[in-house]
């Protein structure tokens, strides 16, 4: 099975922690040059060292904010001019805060849609020329199982992630051969983001975060939270030559939680 990513350049969003970090490390282990993207320069410097230790031939940190797409466009264009075309794009962004959909304001929707949907679309447009030139492209979106079963209390996140799933499926019909787009749908995964979400939900319900976590584990047949590296492995596979015939799919990596297929 051909998993080698030698000679490929990967741009991984949200790679300073959690699933994005795990994906970046796995891509490095497969031989890719990795450009980790996040807002925190200090954390990215540490990530770059980790990527080189994992086997990446080079690591090029990109400090950028997905909320500022005017600056993002200029930064990514400059990054590509300096470090070469991108062949692999991992769209991964933190979700909106916990809250009921009926309480959401227009500003809440626009902020989440901009960071998640519009930033992803911009990055595809910016990286696609390099993929076309190489005759090789992999785009993987980190979404949520909520695109199939909405998660209570994540009203805006449910809405925007579902939009992303439809966007990705549509692009799978428009992208040229050898350039694929797929999505992974994480279940309850042990990340900083999940810990923050547990705290938000616990505060609203008047319980402890550990009680929220126990509820998540109770509905997961594997009987535990997922590990970021488990998501990273699936993402890396979808980026590899071995996944060349996987296109327009949304893979749940959730320990069996989803009832829908």
In this structure, which CATH number among 3.30.420.40, 3.40.50.620, 1.10.10.10, 3.40.50.720 belongs to the domain 9-189+227-253? 3.40.50.720
Amino acid 261: pLDDT? 54
Dump pLDDT digits (tens) for 118-144. 999 999 999 999 999 999 999 999 999
Amino acid 87: pLDDT? 98
Dump pLDDT digits (tens) for 155-200. 999 999 999 999 999 999 999 999 999 999 999 998 888 788 788 8
Looking up tokens 């080189």 gives: 52
Cα–Cα separations (whole angstroms), residue 239 to 147, 157, 158, 181, 232: 22, 25, 25, 9, 11
Q: What residues in the chain have per-residue pLDDT under 50?
A: none
Amino acid 252: pLDDT? 96
Amino acid 190: pLDDT? 85
Amino acid 260: pLDDT? 59
The alpha carbon of 176 is separated from its chain's Cα centroid by a whole number of angstroms, namely 22
Amino acid 211: pLDDT? 81
**pTM for this predicted structure:** 0.94
Buried b or exposed e, range 108-127, using 16+ CB within 10 angstroms: bbeebbbbbbebbebbbebb
In DSSP terms, which residues pair with 36 in a beta bridge?
12
Amino acid 192: pLDDT? 82
Amino acid 223: pLDDT? 94
Per the CB < 8 A criterion, the answer to whether 187 and 219 are in contact is no
Cα–Cα separations (whole angstroms), residue 97 to 38, 107, 155, 199: 19, 13, 9, 11
Show me where the domains of the chain are located.
9-189+227-253, 191-225
Please report, rounded to a whole number, the percentage of residues in the chain having pLDDT higher than 70.
99
Amino acid 259: pLDDT? 83
């Amino acid at each position: 099975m051909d998993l080698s990513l030698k000679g490929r350049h990967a741009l991984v969003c949200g790679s300073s922690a959690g699933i994005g970090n795990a994906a970046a490390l796995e891509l490095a282990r497969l031989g890719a040059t990795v450009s980790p993207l996040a807002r925190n320069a200090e954390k990215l410097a540490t990530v770059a060292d980790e990527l080189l230790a994992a086997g990446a031939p080079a690591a090029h940190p990109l400090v950028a904010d997905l909320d500022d797409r005017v600056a993002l466009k200029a930064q990514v264009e400059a990054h590509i001019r300096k470090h070469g075309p991108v062949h692999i794009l991992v769209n991964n962004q933190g979700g909106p805060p916990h809250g009921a959909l009926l309480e959401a304001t227009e500003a809440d929707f626009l902020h989440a849609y901009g960071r998640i949907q519009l930033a992803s679309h911009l990055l595809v447009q910016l990286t696609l020329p390099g993929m076309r030139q190489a005759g090789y492209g992999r785009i993987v979106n980190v979404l949520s199982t909520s695109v199939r079963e909405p998660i209570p209390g994540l009203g805006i996140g449910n809405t925007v992630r579902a939009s992303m799933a439809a966007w990705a499926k549509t692009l799978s019909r428009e992208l040229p051969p050898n350039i694929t787009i797929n999505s992974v749908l994480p279940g309850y995964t042990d990340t900083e983001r999940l810990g923050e979400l547990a705290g938000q939900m616990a505060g609203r319900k008047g319980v402890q975060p550990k009680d929220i976590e126990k509820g998540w584990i109770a509905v997961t047949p594997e009987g535990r939270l997922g590990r970021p590296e488990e998501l990273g492995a699936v993402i890396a596979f979808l980026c590899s030559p071995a996944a060349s015939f996987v296109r327009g799919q949304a893979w749940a990596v959730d320990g069996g939680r989803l009832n829908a297929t």
